[in-house]
Amino acid sequence: MADILSGGIAGIGFTWKSCPSMTELEMSSLDWVVDLMGLPEHFKNSHDGPGCGIIQSTASDSTMIAIMAARASHVERIKAEPTFMKWVSETGVGKTLKGIFDRVKVNKIDDEASGIIAPYFHDPAVFERFVMYCSDQAHSSVEKGAMLSAVRLRKLKATRGFLGNYGVTNETLQNAIKEDRARGYIPFIFLATVGTTCSCGVDQIDELGPVCVEEGLYLHVDAAYAGTFALCDEFKYLTRGMEHVDSFNFNLHKAGMINFDCSPMFFKNGTHVSRYFNVDAIYLAHEYQSTAADYRHLQVALGRRFRSLKIWFVLRNMGADKIREYLRRTELLAAEFAKLILENGKFEHFVPQHLGLTCFRLKNSTNADNEKLCNAINDDRRIHLVPSTVHGTYFLRMVVCSQLTTLDDVIYGRDVIFEIADRLF
């Protein structure tokens, strides 16, 4: 219904004035989300501070914006350092760029002689030695974000720990920062994952956050799948330590009973981030821009859809308790499958079941055995499994991800897996 209305209204929403209701409902609905999830108040649009929320299209968009915002923030910080200005005045490269650095600190500086626009906050001469960190279990969009942002990426090895699953420890992060600074690199962001794609592992924000604060790193949290579960009190451990986080995103279209696309993103300091992506043109100017929110400054695209209608419709028609009921049923069905898959003695869990995901493999088997089984199951076409690997170990994944899934469906899936496994092994 929301998508039908959004298409019918045909609002573009690139500025507040172009569609005030789109911006205002987005601001209000995201404040509701902050309250429902128990997130820090500074993420609210209505808060007195510089924090804010926006609905992005995907977690991939959120990741890239976070990386580029962190990069710009670090560039600004470095350019303000006396040692940097000394380099500018004493080195050949610095003298060449001195005309740029001596000018007013605005996002773009127009060289009238050449017509070249030099972006102050996105200066490649400064971020050439930047390096960012993420888990080796982070989503592929993190690597793509690093590529598009033209910065080095170091994937830190996740180890078994919290929840018996894979995550980056604070010691691993601290050692990486120390090593890279010794090599002459400049660490600027750690991108944590809450609910990894492969195994639903968690980078513990309450432990990693203080490290980022102490070392001056921007901290972004990608909780694309798992984040929605924080609506339930029993899953609040997923968002412990959010007071340390600079930005955070999750996908309501994955587990929030909302269809694609709806990916809320929150900033501790949205005012600063807006400066980094502010490109003003006369045809975008309006008389309210000094007081109203223009979401175009917090995303790659200019135009945007009326995505907040989806949140409004779901909360109005079903309510938060209905979403919580669905999330709890998802976890219960996954837990039931986790027990059922062990019943014939042929299978073992790769990691403990977490949220809606169960990871399993054949006992005393090779990767080739498990791949053969997975291919046979998918070729059979009664059910479909998506496999994965962690540190060279291949395993199968069963995930409950539909509002229509029942216990009978879960039992049926178990039966199909057992039947094909018995036939092959």
Per-residue HEC secondary structure of 22-53 comes to HHHHHHHHHHHHHHHHCCCHHHCCCCCCCCEE
CA dihedral 408, 411, 416, 420 (to 10 degrees): -170
Same domain for 329 and 292?
Answer: no
Same domain for 241 and 358?
Answer: no
Query: Can you tell me the distance from the alpha carbon of 312 to that of 333, in angstroms, rounded to the nearest whole number?
Result: 28
Q: Is 244 a catalytic residue?
A: no
CB atoms within 10 A of CB 52: 26
The number of distinct structural domains making up the chain is 2
**What type of residue sits at position 277?**
F
pLDDT tens per residue across span 314-325: 999 999 999 999
What integer pLDDT is reported at residue 177 of this predicted model?
97
What integer pLDDT is reported at residue 87 of this predicted model?
53
pLDDT tens per residue across span 123-151: 888 989 999 999 999 999 999 999 999 99
DSSP single-letter state for residue 217: -
Same domain for 59 and 146?
Answer: yes
Q: Which two tokens stand for residue 40?
A: 């820090």
Query: Can you tell me the distance from the alpha carbon of 242 to that of 221, in angstroms, rounded to the nearest whole number?
Result: 9
CB atoms within 10 A of CB 363: 11
The average pLDDT across 256-283 equals 89
Q: Which two tokens stand for residue 13?
A: 């929403």
- Going from the C-alpha of 361 to that of each of 78, 159, 198, the distances in angstroms are 49, 19, 14
Same domain for 23 and 9?
Answer: yes
Same domain for 56 and 177?
Answer: yes
This prediction's pTM: 0.89
Domain hosting residue 29, numbered range = 2-317
Orientation angle between helical segments 407-424 and 320-340, nearest 10 degrees: 30
Instruction: Label residue 116 exposed, middle or buried (CB < 10 Å: 0-12, 13-18, 19+).
Output: exposed
Residue with the two structure tokens 């079903």: 318
User: Which three-class secondary structure state does DSSP give residue 392?
Assistant: coil
DSSP 308-323: HHHHHHHHHHT-HHHH
Is the per-residue pLDDT at 6 higher than 80? no
- Asked which of 3-7, 131-135, 403-407 is least confident by mean pLDDT, the reply is 3-7
Q: Which of 267, 289, 317 is the last residue of a domain?
A: 317
What integer pLDDT is reported at residue 88 of this predicted model?
52
Phi, psi of 172 (to 5 degrees): -60, -45
Same domain for 290 and 325?
Answer: no
Residue 120 belongs to a domain with what CATH number?
3.40.640.10
Query: Positive or negative CA dihedral for 18, 22, 28, 33?
Result: negative
Beta strands 186-193; 218-222: pairing state: parallel
> What are the strands, taking DSSP E only, across 77-171?
108-110, 117-119, 130-135, 152-156, 159-160, 166-167
Orientation angle between helical segments 59-79 and 140-149, nearest 10 degrees: 40
Query: Can you tell me the distance from the alpha carbon of 79 to that of 87, in angstroms, rounded to the nearest whole number?
Result: 10
Q: Which of 282, 301, 317 is the last residue of a domain?
A: 317
Query: Can you tell me the distance from the alpha carbon of 70 to that of 145, in angstroms, rounded to the nearest whole number?
Result: 12
Closest residue by Cα to residue 259 from 409, 66, 401: 401
Query: Can you tell me the distance from the alpha carbon of 25 to that of 306, in angstroms, rounded to the nearest whole number?
Result: 9
Report yes or no: 326 and 403 within 8 Å, Cβ to Cβ: yes
Same domain for 305 and 327?
Answer: no
What integer pLDDT is reported at residue 97 of this predicted model?
52
Same domain for 283 and 333?
Answer: no
Instruction: Label residue 93 exposed, middle or buried (CB < 10 Å: 0-12, 13-18, 19+).
Output: exposed
Same domain for 329 and 217?
Answer: no
What integer pLDDT is reported at residue 102 of this predicted model?
46
Is the per-residue pLDDT at 227 higher than 90? yes
Residue 365 belongs to a domain with what CATH number?
3.90.1150.10
Instruction: Name the catalytic one among 42, 74, 122, 139.
Output: 139
Q: How many Cα atoms are found within 13 Å in the side-chain-facing hemisphere of 412?
A: 10
User: Which three-class secondary structure state does DSSP give residue 364?
Assistant: coil
> What are the strands, taking DSSP E only, across 26-143?
52-56, 108-110, 117-119, 130-135
Same domain for 254 and 345?
Answer: no
Same domain for 124 and 93?
Answer: yes
Report yes or no: 402 and 393 within 8 Å, Cβ to Cβ: no
Is the per-residue pLDDT at 10 higher than 80? no
Same domain for 155 and 209?
Answer: yes
Q: Which two tokens stand for residue 288?
A: 């309210």
What integer pLDDT is reported at residue 397 of this predicted model?
97
Closest residue by Cα to residue 193 from 246, 123, 142: 142
How does residue 282 score in pLDDT terms, banded at 50, 70 and 90? Answer: confident
Is the per-residue pLDDT at 284 higher than 90? no
pLDDT tens per residue across span 327-357: 999 999 999 999 999 999 999 999 999 999 9
Q: Which of 317, 344, 364 is the last residue of a domain?
A: 317
